Every structure is written in C-alpha cells, then in structure tokens.
Structure 1
Amino acid sequence: MDACLWPGKSLIMQQYHDNEWCVPSHDDSYIFEMLTLEGAQAGLSWNIVLSKREEYKKAFHNFDITYCSKLSDGEIENIREEFNVIKNLLKLKSVRNNAMEIIKIRLEFGSFSNFLWNYVDFKPVINNWKLDSEAPAKNDLSEKISRDLKKRNFKFVGPVIIYSFMQAIGMVDDHIITCPCHSKNINVR
C-alpha cells in the first residue's frame, strides 16, 4: 500500500503522520495543543513546529488549559526568552487568549471537544483522495468554524489553520485511499 507522501523523509513528520494525523481525539488538552501548534505554524513549516513541540509542552505545562489561561504578560515574555518556541509574541499571547475562550466554551458545551465535534455530528469526515494534492487547504466547514471561533475571540484560527487543525484532531481523514493509515485500511494493516 502506498502511504501519503507529504511526510517525506523526516522521521518526526512520519511519526506524526503514522500515529496522530487524522486520528480522532476528544481530549481537550490534546485539542488545545493542536490548536496552539497549528496557530504557531502560520507562515512556517509543520516540521519546524513539530521539532519545537517538546519545548511547547514544557513551556505551557503540557497544555494545561487552566494554567495557560492565567499566564501573565511577564510569564509569556519569559516563555519567549527561555524556551525554544516560535518567538512571535502574538502567537504566544494567543495561547493564553485561546485557553480563556476554551474555558468559556466548556461552561457552555461541557468540553471544547463537544463544541468542535458537533460540527461533524461527532463522526469524522472520511475523504477518499487518490493523491495528497487533492486534499484542500480549506473548505466550507473550516471557514464556518473559523468564523465561529473568531466571533468567540479566538486568535490564529483562519480557515486554512482550522482545516489543518481538523486534520490534526481527526475531524477529517485526509490520508490518501491507499495509505495504511486511512480509516478504511486501519483494520487490515
């Protein structure tokens, strides 16, 4: 079976592809982590962001939403100076901002996961692409979620970021149809 080509020869990208990409997750901390990392990627390569992932985990206490929501400007500046994360201050401040908004959503929906997965009736959208290049950069759903999150004051949630985020948390399965990781092939590998 031919796997997706986008991970290339990068071990970190291959591991992410094989073990996480398009795998459904309902864990709010993981979902917050992916939202943070996808936002950090804006303008950069995913490989760069993944290479800094462990530093992000240390800096943001394993993406503890309550902890992140209470970070002071000074603590965010310290993270920027002391950890090997993307140094963009707006991206770093978005971690606190988005954590605060997730807490509000949890009060309304019970979890951030419930809020997001409701968009797809709690079932992943399984695509059947023959080539990596067929997967879109954004779609109507990512545009809708992006608009809704922006109305709720989330940052770094444009429709392209949100589509990648949907892949990251498994709301969509964009593995090519011949990839062993595609939903239809999971039980036969």
Structure 2
Amino acid sequence: MTAEPNRCGWRGMAGDPLYEAYHDTEWGVPEYDARALWEKLVLDGFQAGLSWITILRKREAFREAFAGFDPDKVARFGEAERAQLMANPGIVRSNAKVDAAIEGARIYLDMRERGEDFSEFLWSFTGGRTIQNQWTEISQVPAKTRLAEEMSKALKAKGFKFVGPVIVYAFMQATGFVNDHLVTCHRHAPIRRMSA
C-alpha cells in the first residue's frame, strides 16, 4: 500500500477522490489555451458565494449546458437557451451569473475580432510566467493580491462580470499564474518546473 502524497491542506479535500484528483492534476498547472482560460474564469464566476467543490462536481453538467464552453456558440445563446440554462438542475441557476457567462462569450469574441488574444491579455499581467510563491502554511496564502486587483480591474473594464479580485485570484491560482501549492506539497516542485 502506497502512502498518500503530502497535499495542500484544503478543507474537505482529504479522502474526496474528485477533489484530490483536481488538486493533483489540474490546480496550478499553467494554462495558455484562451478557450480553456475563459471556461475556468466563467466557472470561477459561478463559484462566487459557493465552494469550489460544488462547481467541480457540476463541471461536466456546466460543460454540456454551455456547449463545451465554445465562446462562438455561447455568444449566440438567446432567450430559449437562457431559459434552458435556468431550468437545468445540473448547474448553478443564477440569472446574473448566466447572463455574465453569455455576455462574457461576446466580449471574448469581440477581443478576438480586434486581434486581442484572451490568453495573451491575461498572461501579460505576469510577463507570461508563473509567479512562484513559497508558502509553508495554508494560512499564509492570500485571498487576493495587488496583481489580482489589477487583472480584475482590467477584466471589468472590458465588461466582464463576476471578476472581483478574490474570484480572479482563485482563477490565477487554478490556472498557474501563481504557484500557490505549499512548498511541502508534492505538486509544488512539478509546477515550478513547468514554469521554468
């Protein structure tokens, strides 16, 4: 029997296979694909006021409901699709969050049409590299940073909603803009190597 790897001490993660797999394979991995980044930003917006595990458990239902988070398709959602979303028990049904996701797809396409890549826009805040933090305790990990506030402000200026600095920092952590795995976590060094 192999010993469990040393992980960040997230509340509720120990023993939850879905949560542990997310931590071990996804969280903190640098993501450069524009569509994947937009999907994660939308999901983090839906998380507002909820726990990430709630969204993680509904992620496949979200992907199905939002046409695989294809911005070209979501941007064309009208009243019929919106009504279907609001009737879908598999996702978080919030008028404001659903509207923000649809409008966010339209903003994403508008940026693309003007020659502005969503990934390049976001990664410009860190110079295209992961910020390597050296936290030893979960209590040291901030809920937001000045950089998250800057990214939040820029996203809001483009018209995105549910992109406050706390949501944006959670997004930055998840998609590898920062390495916030604890130094004692088995994922800290691999993430650092991915960003070198």
What is the TM-score of this pair, normalised by structure 2? 0.90
Q: Pick one of 176, 182, 188 that aligns with 2:182.
A: 176
Q: Give CA deviations for 1:80-137 in whole Å, capped at 9, x if unaligned.
A: 2135100111111111111111112223454210000011000011101001221100
Q: CA deviation at 1:185?
A: 7.0
1:3 equivalent to 2:7? Answer yes
Q: CA deviation at 1:74?
A: 2.4
In structure 2, the partner of 1:101 is 107
Q: CA deviation at 1:18?
A: 0.7
Provide the aligned length of Structure 1 versus Structure 2: 187
In structure 2, the partner of 1:165 is 171
1:64 equivalent to 2:73? Answer no
Q: Is the Cα contact below 8 Å between 1:109 and 1:115 reproduced in 2?
A: no
Q: Where does structure 2 lack aligned partners over 5 or more consecutive residues?
A: none
Q: CA deviation at 1:54?
A: 0.4
**Amino acid aligned to 2:106:** M
Please tell me the root mean square deviation across aligned C-alpha atoms, in Å.
Answer: 1.6
**Amino acid aligned to 2:9:** L
Runs of 4+ in 1 over 4 A off after TM superposition: 184-187
Q: CA deviation at 1:32?
A: 1.3
1:86 equivalent to 2:92? Answer yes
Counterpart secondary structure, 2:182: coil
Q: CA deviation at 1:184?
A: 5.5
Distance 1:65 1:183, change over 3 A: farther
In structure 1, the partner of 2:34 is 28
CA–CA distance in structure 1, aligned partners of residues 150 and 80 of structure 2: 34
Q: CA deviation at 1:186?
A: 6.7
In structure 1, the partner of 2:55 is 49
Q: Is the Cα contact below 8 Å between 2:29 and 2:191 reproduced in 1?
A: no
In structure 2, the partner of 1:74 is 80
CA–CA distance in structure 2, aligned partners of residues 71 and 125 of structure 1: 36
CA–CA distance in structure 2, aligned partners of residues 42 and 133 of structure 1: 21
CA–CA distance in structure 2, aligned partners of residues 101 and 114 of structure 1: 15
Segment drifting more, 123-132 vs 1-10: 1-10
